[in-house]
Amino acid sequence: MSKREIRWLFQQLPEWVEEGFVSEAQAGALRRRYAPDTQDSTGLQLGVIAIGIVGALLIGGGVVSIIAYNWEYLSRDWQTAISFLPMILGLVLYGYVFFKKRNSLVWKESGSAVLMLFLGATISLISETYHLTGTADAFLKPWLLLSIPLLYLLNSSLSAIIYLIGATAWALQVSRPETVGFWGFLVMAIPHLAYNFYRAGEWIRKHLLAWAFMISWAFGWFASTDSGLSEYIMVGTGLWLSVFCLLSAVLFPSGRIMVRQPFLLFGLAGMFIMGIICAYGTKVPGFHLGGLWGDMEYPFWAAMTNFAVLVILALAWIVLGWIHWKSIGFSLESALLFGFPLVLALYVAFTDGQEKDLLAIILANLYGLAIGVAYLREGIRSNNLLDLNIGMLFILALALTRFFDAEWSLIVKGVAFILLGIAFLLANLYIAKRRVSNA
């Protein structure tokens, strides 16, 4: 089969599975049969998308620079007409793609992204021409709202990524309580994300969307929620990190290699950072349930918006935990990942606004050690270097926190570092040899 025919086959397989023409197993067999022939074309297609977008942006930037050079000498009428030129050009390109090239991934992604960026350029030029308010809110909000249809008309994931970046930038620029509007922007992108996460194939699209969503969520969460409430900064953060880890098994069930499970990697990275913070006995505010209903910074409507997000997270945590247990079963690693928000809740209860609470420090260190040992054991059992290194990383990080706290001499600390490094290298060498012998 030619590469064009193989690409057509891969595009049809999800629909054939949904309509019952072939089973999921048969579709997987076809993908494996013809996958080697499409690896080069996939990379080439991504390269063409990138080159097309960069080329369009360079041309657009050059045109804008030429216009900007003579901008102050133009009349307002000419400035207004020229301001709409980028959007008109983007619409012409988008119309051509919509009616003539809608089956081409390269054209769909490039056309949608170019129109979205040119739309932003037009809004910016109009604001400059009529001396409208130059705040980030005045520019980003209308741009994001007008860009929402571009996510869905041609199913453009590149536009979705740009949209998430813009929504995050908006949340970081505006002041509280307006930041809670981030959740509204995020909701507008959820259908696009859900549709593409559950589609068969196109793992590159899934991974890019996953990373964009998680990074946007993390920044948006801390920008929108009340940083003075442990219900959000500790328990809430623990909830969404745990949800990400549990969600990974649902969205990426075939990702036996952890690098193919972006939600799990991101969740573990967040847990690692939170664990190190807690291992030092960092002071955090005690629980203040009354603050959930609002305060001077967050009026009732804003507080209720954030509280609704917290409740949805808690429900998702429970549901995903149940699904994980029923479909996969709970291993030691799964139980530890599920219990992370409970551990953070206990940490807050133990510290209660105090610093260096002994029980809280012991709890944080024991939990981090348990995760490290669990992944270390799994890495050795399955000959998986990434699992092994994650386990070693948790254990080594806890050891380092104790070294910095301990009043030992530099000689003792130096020897300890050397021994830990040797242990780290020997463990990796042992697994590497086992993998070679089992190959």
CA angle 190, 194, 200 (to 5 degrees): 155
Q: What is the pLDDT of residue 291?
A: 79
Token digits for 6?
A: 């193989």
DSSP-derived letter for residue 253 is T
Token pair in block for residue 19? 């309509």
pLDDT at 66: 72
Rg (CA), the chain: 26
Q: How far is residue 268's CA from residue 326's CA, in Å, rounded to a whole number?
A: 22
Indicate the helix (H) or strand (E) that contains 246: helix 237-251
Cis amide leading into 177 (omega within 30): yes
H or E stretch including 378?
Answer: helix 358-382
Helical pair 3-19 and 39-69, crossing angle rounded to 10 deg? 100
**Distance (Å, rounded) from C-alpha 194 to C-alpha 204?**
15
pLDDT by 10-residue block (mean), the chain, 439 residues: 68 73 76 56 56 66 69 78 85 90 83 88 82 77 93 90 94 89 95 85 82 94 88 93 88 62 89 87 82 81 92 94 79 85 92 80 87 83 75 80 64 69 71 63
Q: Residue 406 has what pLDDT? A: 59
Confidence (pLDDT) at 22: 78
CA distances from 229 to 149, 287, 302, 348 (A): 36, 7, 14, 10
Contact 348, 234 (CB under 8 A): yes
Interatomic CA distance for residues 255 and 387, integer angstroms:
13
What is the end-to-end Cα distance of the chain in Å, rounded?
32
The model's pTM? 0.80
Count how many Cα atoms sit within 13 Å of the Cα of residue 36 in the half-sphere of its side chain.
1
C-alpha–C-alpha distance, residues 239 and 218, integer Å: 12
User: What is the residue-wise DSSP string for 380-403?
Assistant: HHHT-HHHHHHHHHHHHHHHHHHH
User: CA-to-CA distance for 269 and 164, rounded, in angstroms?
Assistant: 21
Q: Cα–Cα distance between 75 and 71 in angstroms, integer?
A: 9
> In 70-156, which residue ranges form alpha helices assigned H by DSSP?
76-83, 85-100, 105-129, 136-153
